[in-house]
Structures are given as C-alpha cells and as structure tokens.
A = this chain, B = another copy of it.
Amino acid sequence: MRSTMMDAPLQISRILDHGSTVHGTAEVVTWTGAEPRRMTYAEVGRAAARLAHALRDECGVTGDERVATFMWNNAEHLVAYFAVPSMGAVLHTLNIRLFPDQVAYIANHAEDRVVLVDSTLIPLLAKVIGDMTTVRHVVVAGGGDPAPLVAAAGDRISVHHWDALLDGRPDTYDWREVDERDAAALCYTSGTTGNPKGVAYSHRSIYLHSLQVCTPEGFGLGPTDRTLAIVPMFHAMSWGLPYAALFSGASLIMPDRFLQAAPIAEMIIAEHPTLAGAVPTIWNDLLAYLDSHEVDTSSLAEVIVGGSACPPALMHAFEERHGIRVIHAWGMTETSPLGSVARPPAGASGEDAWRYRYTQGRVPAGVEARIVGPLAEPLPADGTSVGELEVRGPWVTGRYVGDETPDEEKFRDGWLRTGDVGTLSPDGYITLTDRAKDVIKSGGEWISSVELENALMAHPDVVEACVVGVPDERWGERPLATVVLREGAGVGAQELRDFLAASVARWQLPERWAVIDAVPKTSVGKFDKKVVRSRYAEGGLEVRELAAP
C-alpha cells in the first residue's frame, strides 16, 4: 500500500531556507584577531544566493560540477557550504594540511572546476594550483595580495575577488530541486597508505545526519546554543556542525586561523559558546592555558572531543577544575562523521557514568554497529567479544568515489569495516582498543597489542613497549614484544613474561622479545609499527626466543 505522504526531497537548500528565515537572527561570528566579523543567518542566505549566481554566471558552474574550498572555518566557508550544494553543484572541502602533491591529486581526482580560497592561504595554494589540471577559476576571500596566486595559476585560470564577484548580484536564487541521493559534498580521507579516497555525501545523508546531531543523543543543538566549531570544515565537514547550526538555529563561532589556546580562550570570554568541538590536542593545550590564566568559561557547558581517543585525565581535569563536561564522540570521514557519542545511560552516575564516558559511545538510531571476528564471523554484542567494528546506515558510505564496486578491504556484505577493533555492549556502547592492522591474529583468535603494551609498561623497569605481530608457521602470527628499559635496569625477557602472565591469558604471552633503544615514531609521534615489523623481517633486531605458547 502506497503512503499518501508528499514526496518532499531531503535537500540542503531546505536547511538554508529554514535557517535563513526562521533562524534569520542567529549569527556566525568569525574571529579576526581584532574585532570579530558578524553575519546573521539571514545574511548567509542572501550571500549564498549571490555566490550561486556568481558561480553560475561568471565561473560557468553547471550541473553537478565540483566547487572546492581551501579555507579556514569562517563565514565565507559557511556560505559556500550552503550555496554550492543548493545550486546542485558539489562542494569539495580540500584539506589544507595535506602534502601539496596529495592536494593536487585530490583536486584532479574530483575534477574540481573552481577553488574558493582564503587570502591567508594564498601562499599554500600557490604551491599546488599549477598542478590542478581541471581548475578554471579561483575566488579569493579576504584582502591579501593575490599576486603569487595569479603568477602560479597561469593563463588557464581566472582569479576573482570574492567581494567584487558577489557584489550587486540578486540575493535570492531559485534553488534547484535535486534527487536527494545525489552528491552534495565530497571529502577525501587522508589514508595512511595509498592515495586519499573520496567519500561523496548525499543531500539525504547530510540532512539526516544534521537532524541526528541536533537530538539530545547527538549534540542536542537548539536555538539557545552558541557552537564554537574548532574542528576544521575541511575535516569530515566539521562534524556536521555548520549544517546542524542552520537546522537548529544555534549560532556559530568560527576561529578562522586562530587555533592556539590563547585566542580560543579569548573567543570563550567574548562570545560565550555553550558547546565546542575539537580534537584532543586542542583541548590539551587549552587546559594548560585555563589552568594558568583567569578565564570565565561559565557559558561552556560541554565540549565534544573526537578524532582520537580522549585521555580520561583530560576529561576529569576539564570537569573537575573548570566545570566543563567533556563528551567523547567517535566517527570517521566515512561515517559523515557521527558514529557514536559517549553519553551515559539514564540513571548512571558517579564512577558508573564515567565508565560509559570513557568508551567511544553509544550508536544513535541511524547507525547500526556489529563486531566481527578474525574469521569474518559476527560476534555477540556482549561487551566482551573482541572483533573489528563494522557499521552501516543512511549516512555511512558504501564505497569510495570512482570505485564501481566496494573495495573488499573496506566493505563487507553492505557494512563498512572501520579498521577499529574492540567490543560492543548490549546497550550499544562501543569500546575500541586497537586498530585492526595492529592486532595480532594468532590461530583464529585476536591478541590486542595495545593491551600487552599497557600491561608491560606497568612494569617499573619498562619505559616503553611496542608489540607487533610477526609471521609464525604454526599460528599465522605471534606477538613480538620490543621494550625500552629504564637506564641501568637488569630485567630479562623471562621476568617480563612472568610479569605479563599476571594480567594476560597464557596463550597471548609473547615468546619473542627484543630490547631496543627507542621505539621508532611516526611524524605525529605514534609508534611506527611498520618500521618495527620490517626491522624484524630484515633481521635488524636481536630477538630472544622463550618457551612456545
């Protein structure tokens, strides 16, 4: 039986129309280092119309062509977030932090036709614009000197000024009715191996994700909120905050390029955010600043932390010393990105509530999660079975841009393989312990390298411990424990193995041990396990073998 409901597509122009009328007096505040710039959502609506006219009439953007941004979090970026998808084109947020050759690769892969750039980022874009083979127009927002860009761009590319380009154009636009499953925005993952891969969000996925962000189980955004969106708009759509803001009427406070603790503290003092979102390193820096300066943070009830696991000590410090609740969230570019939010269940309090808050959080209604074991078998959601986390749902990607069929390394039976390993509780809480590539697959069971490392590092003579899986004829893989010892310590492998036996199952105990001078690290300071594995493979480690498992 067919329903009688209207066939109203879920599209971004509806969010814009709603935000710029019903919430027309809400505002986006852009930090400048001096007097902040203010723009109401009514003005955002008019500017979006003008930008769309300019892109169509001056830059020749038609159909679903890609319009890229190379921008900080600011009002102009917000205008582009709405104008580009609403006119039927596709917004492509370029990550300014990638290596130049990656940026060019991504722009060419997406076939970007236009790049919108902040004038403060002209030097960075000038390095790569010559390699962007499909770009025909660059629009510069802000007052910096475009000369280096004009020089680098060559004759193929026209360089425009944002203000001059928009000036005098109509401030309404007859937004195109789209198929809600068509692409609205593109974001590439900065994968650690291989080329970056693109995810194309649909109007539908962004609409549904925005609604979920607004619910109390998400971030609970409403018109009385003022959201300090520190997480970059070129990083998984700033967690959906820009779209959720116009959906809900929450105002936005945008840091532009001022991402250090001191200006962020100033924003808190001057603009009274109620909510903020950023990765743990930002909060770590801010905590040190708050601990040593007098800052009124009373408006700020909650900060959302995502991108990587948040140390419990940081959560406690914010809450106990500054009255700010830190909420853990998990997600990835492939999940739009909201995958889970660590709010404790109703009735939990004290230590019980904290235990829930240390997890990656609980899935919202739009996300299904399951845990899959090393033999591809779904495991029970019992809070103890360890496996790879897989998710699916209307705002989860089912493939990468350009792939005809889903990449089997990343997708399985309609589920996204997250590459994260952990447990799922009966009430939907995800606890992640390892990256799948760091887990040791031993005879059809998984051994957590992180668990072994943590247990080892609890020994008073161990400074650092790095555990990797190495090939084993009988078991497939077995753990190799490499340890950095305290200067002058005389502890041996057998003693460390006995120490581990107190907290780890017997079959998980490593039989291969090596004492090393330092654990090799990646550029961002993480253990570089690839280097440890290859050193082992090349015989570059002095390994001591103990009893078999």
Residues of A whose CB lies within 8 Å of any CB of B are 1-8, 10, 14-15, 17-19, 21-26, 64, 66, 90, 181-184, 198-202, 204-205, 208, 211-212, 214-217, 220-224, 247-249, 251, 343, 345-347, 362-363, 365, 368, 381, 392-401, 414, 416, 426-428
Contacts and interface: CB of A to CB of B under 8 A. Distances in A.
Given A21-B428, A363-B22, A346 B223 contact: yes
B25 A427 contact: yes
B181 A5 contact: yes
Interface of A is mostly: loop
14 contacts: A2-B183, A3-B184, A3-B202, A4-B399, A5-B202, A6-B394, A6-B397, A18-B428, A22-B363, A22-B428, A25-B345, A25-B427, A214-B215, A216-B220
Nearest to A220: B216
B249 A2 contact: no
B90 A200 contact: no
B394 A5 contact: yes
Given A3-B183, A182-B1, A394 B8 contact: yes
Nearest to A344: B223
Q: Most chain-B CB neighbours within 10 Å: which of A14, A25, A201, A217?
A: A217
A2 to B, nearest CB: 6
A215 to B, nearest CB: 4
Contacts of A346: 26, 223-224, 249, 251
A21 B397 contact: no
A204 B363 CA distance: 20
Given A3-B200, A200-B5, A202-B3, A21 B381 contact: yes
A427 B200 contact: no
Given A3-B181, A8-B396, 16 more contacts: A1-B182, A3-B205, A5-B205, A5-B397, A6-B394, A18-B365, A25-B427, A208-B211, A214-B215, A214-B217, A215-B221, A216-B221, A216-B223, A217-B249, A220-B220, A248-B365
A184 B2 CA distance: 9
Contacts of A211: 208, 211-212, 215, 365
A4 B400 contact: yes
A489 to B, nearest CB: 47
